[in-house]
Chains A and B, each alone.
Chain A
C-alpha cells in the first residue's frame, strides 16, 4: 500500500482484479458434463456442436421392437467357405438382408470393369499410366497391370494346347508381382524425395558398410594368404541393400573421420584402416597415422589414452611426430601400442598385489602394505621420469640419454620402485 503511494499508482486496481475473476469463473462452468471431463476436451466450448444435444436424449424409436440374435454369416470376399457367427440386430423379427457389410471393401473386378480395362489397353497401347488416368473407377497402376497380366495369362493358358507350350512365354515365366512392384515404386519415390541430409547420411552408412565388408574381406584374405580385389565386393553388396545412388561426394578428398569398427584383434583393425586408406587413392601420412592411432586406442578409455600421451611426453617423444615419414609413423604406432600394453600390465600387477595381500591376511581389512600400493596419485604413476626432474641420481643430459638409452631405464626405475618392492618382501 505504501509502495503504491510512493509510486503514485491508483489504489483501487486490486479490487478491480478481484471483481473480474469471479465473472470469468462462472462463465467457465460447463453444462451437462463434469468440469474435469470438460477440461479434457480443452476446457472451452466447441465452435460447432458435434452432435445435436436433442439427439443425445431421444434415441430408441417406440414403434420398432429390437432384439439381437447370434447368427452365422458368410463373406463373399472370401474364397474359402468359412462360416462365422456374430450378433445381428433384428428389427421386429426380420433379420437384415444383403452381403456381409465389409465385403464391399474387397477389390473385386467385375466383368464390366475388366472389359473397360481391355478396351483402354488396346486404344492406349498398354500405356498403363495413361490408362490409369482414364479408368472410370479409381484403381492404381499396379492393380490395373495385375488384372491385365493375370487375365492375359489365363487366356493364354486356356488357349494353349498344352501347358508345356506356354512355359517359355514371358507372361508365364515372369508373372507380374503386385506387392513387389508397389514396394519397388515406393522405395524409388522415397529415394527421389530424399533430402540432401538424408543422402549424405545414406552415403556415410554405405561407406561404413563398405569398410566393414572390406575388413572382412581382407581378414579372410589374410587367412588365405591371397589379396582379394576389394572394390568389387563392396559396391555390389551395397547395391543389393539399397537402390544405387551415386551420392558419394566427388569434391576434394573428403576425409571425414569415421569411428573405428570394434573388431576382435588388432591386426584386423589395422587391416580395415589400410583397406579404407587404399580406397582413398591419395592421402596424407599424418591422416593415416591419425586413423591408426584412433583405431589402436578404440578399445581404451579416455583416461588410458591420456596416460599413454603422458608417458610419451615423459619419454621425450612428440605426440605428433615432427617428421612423419612412413618409417617414423610405424615406429610411433608401435611405441603407442607397447605403452598401452605396459599400462595394462601395470594395472594387472596392481590387482595381483591387492589379491596377494588378501591371501596373506584372509580378510579385506587394511594392512599397512596395501593402501600404499593402491593410493598412487597421478604424479606417482610416472613410469619414466624425465631427466630434468630427477634430482640426485643422475644429472640429466640429453646426450647421455641418446648415448646409452638402456642405462637410463635402470637407474631411475629401481629408485622409484624400491619402496614398493620392500613392502612386498616385508610382508
Chain B
C-alpha cells in the first residue's frame, strides 16, 4: 500500500530533519520511531486532497456542412474547475467511445484532456482518469452522456452557438502520501487543506514532465468562452437558506408538541380525579 511505504519514509525523514543527530540507545529509538509513525499516520489521515474538475462536452451543429452521419462536431473533455492545469495529478485520460467509432478507445497523454470527433448520435462516454503512479495507482472512471441536441427542440439550430453539457465533481484522495502533498502543496488546481499544526513538509522537488511541451491549463482554451460557471457560493447560500427554514419549522413543531403534551397532562389529571 502506498500509505504504509510512505509513512516509513516519512518516519525516517522526520528523524533527519527535526531531531539532532546524536546516537541513541536502540530501544529508545525504536519507540520514538513508532510513536512518530503513529502520529504521522494520524496526521496524514486527517488530510484530504481534492481536485475540483468539470467534465462534459461542447457540440456544434455543422449547419450547411452537416451530412447524415456527421451532423455535429463535438469535443468531450475533463478540465480543472477553475481552468487550472490538472496534469499535475492526472497522467492520462482514456475516453471510451461508442463501438461504431473507429478505434473507440482514445487515449490522451497530456493536458488539455480532450477529444474531438464528428458524429450524429448521443451516447455514454466512459472517461477513465489515470493518475501519476506515485500519487495514486488506482484509476477513476466518470460517465458522461454526450449531448448534441439542445433542450429546447423547437428552437432553430445554430451553427454558431454550441450545445454545452458540463458536470462538476471533485476527485478526493483521502489519505495522500507525503510525496503527494509535497508535489501539490501550492498548486492552483488542487485543494490542500491546512496541515495540522507542527506538521511540516519538506520543500518540493522540481517535477519535470517530459510530455509537457504545451501548457496544461485551459484558461485560454478556444472553447473556454462556452465553459459553464460553477459557483459553490450560490449553492451554499441556497442550502443555508433552506436549512434555516427547516430549522425554524422544527422549532415550531417542537413548541407545538410540548404544548400538546402539557394539554394531555392536564386532561389526564382531570380525568383521573
Contact = CB atoms under 8 A, between A and B. Distances in A.
A352 B45 CA distance: 47
Interface stretch (B56-64, B199-207, B259-267): B259-267
Give the dominant DSSP class at B's interface: helix
B257 A413 contact: no
Contacts of A163: none
B140 A253 contact: yes
Nearest to B263: A356
Contacts of A346: 253
Interface of A: 227, 229, 231, 252-253, 277-278, 280-286, 288, 311-312, 315-318, 321-328, 331-332, 334-335, 338-339, 341-342, 345-346, 348-349, 352-353, 355-356, 359-360, 362, 383-384, 401-402, 405-406, 408-410, 413, 424
A282 B243 contact: no
B52 to A, nearest CB: 7
Given A284-B142, A352-B260, A355-B264, A339 B246 contact: yes
The 5 closest A-B CB pairs, nearest first, are A285-B170, A405-B241, A331-B239, A315-B242, A278-B174
A342 B253 contact: yes
Interface in B1-58: 1-4, 41-42, 45, 48, 50, 52
Chain B interface size, under 10 / 10 to 19 / 20 to 34 / 35 or more: 35 or more
B243 A338 contact: yes
Interface of B: 1-4, 41-42, 45, 48, 50, 52, 128, 131, 136-142, 168-175, 230-232, 234-250, 252-254, 256-257, 260-261, 263-264, 267-268, 271
Contacts of A352: 257, 260-261, 264
Contacts of B252: 413
A93 B248 CA distance: 103
A183 B250 CA distance: 60
Candidate in B1, B168, B237 with the most chain A CB atoms within 10 angstroms: B168
Contacts of B138: 252-253, 280-282
A323 B231 contact: yes
B244 to A, nearest CB: 5
A253 B130 CA distance: 11
A402 B42 CA distance: 41
B174 A281 contact: yes
Given A281-B136, A325-B52, A345-B257, A316 B235 contact: no
A226 B256 CA distance: 42
A217 to B, nearest CB: 13
A227 B257 contact: no
Nearest to B252: A413
Nearest to B260: A352
A51 to B, nearest CB: 66
A316 B175 CA distance: 35
A409 B172 contact: no
A341 B251 CA distance: 11
B139 A252 contact: yes
B207 to A, nearest CB: 19
Contacts of A331: 236, 239-240, 243
Contact of A341 (B52, B173, B245, B250): B250
A328 B267 contact: no
Nearest to A333: B239
B235 A323 contact: yes
B264 A253 contact: no
Contact of B140 (A227, A282, A325, A338): A282
A160 to B, nearest CB: 42
A424 B257 CA distance: 12
Contacts of A342: 246, 249-250, 253
Contacts of B243: 331, 334-335, 338
B243 to A, nearest CB: 5
Contacts of B139: 252-253
A338 B246 contact: yes
Candidate in B140, B242, B253 with the most chain A CB atoms within 10 angstroms: B242
B140 A252 contact: yes
10 contacts: A285-B170, A315-B245, A325-B52, A325-B232, A331-B243, A338-B247, A338-B250, A341-B250, A345-B253, A352-B257
Candidate in B50, B231, B245 with the most chain A CB atoms within 10 angstroms: B245
B260 A356 contact: yes
A405 B236 CA distance: 14
Contacts of B231: 323
Given A342-B250, A352-B261, A326 B170 contact: yes
Nearest to B230: A323
Given A286-B169, A359-B271, A409 B235 contact: no
A406 B244 contact: yes
A282 B173 contact: yes
Contact of A282 (B42, B171, B235, B271): B171
B264 A252 contact: no
A383 B249 CA distance: 9
Contacts of B234: 323
Given A325-B170, A328-B236, 17 more contacts: A277-B172, A281-B173, A282-B138, A284-B171, A323-B232, A328-B232, A331-B236, A331-B240, A334-B243, A335-B243, A341-B250, A342-B246, A349-B253, A405-B244, A408-B245, A409-B245, A413-B252
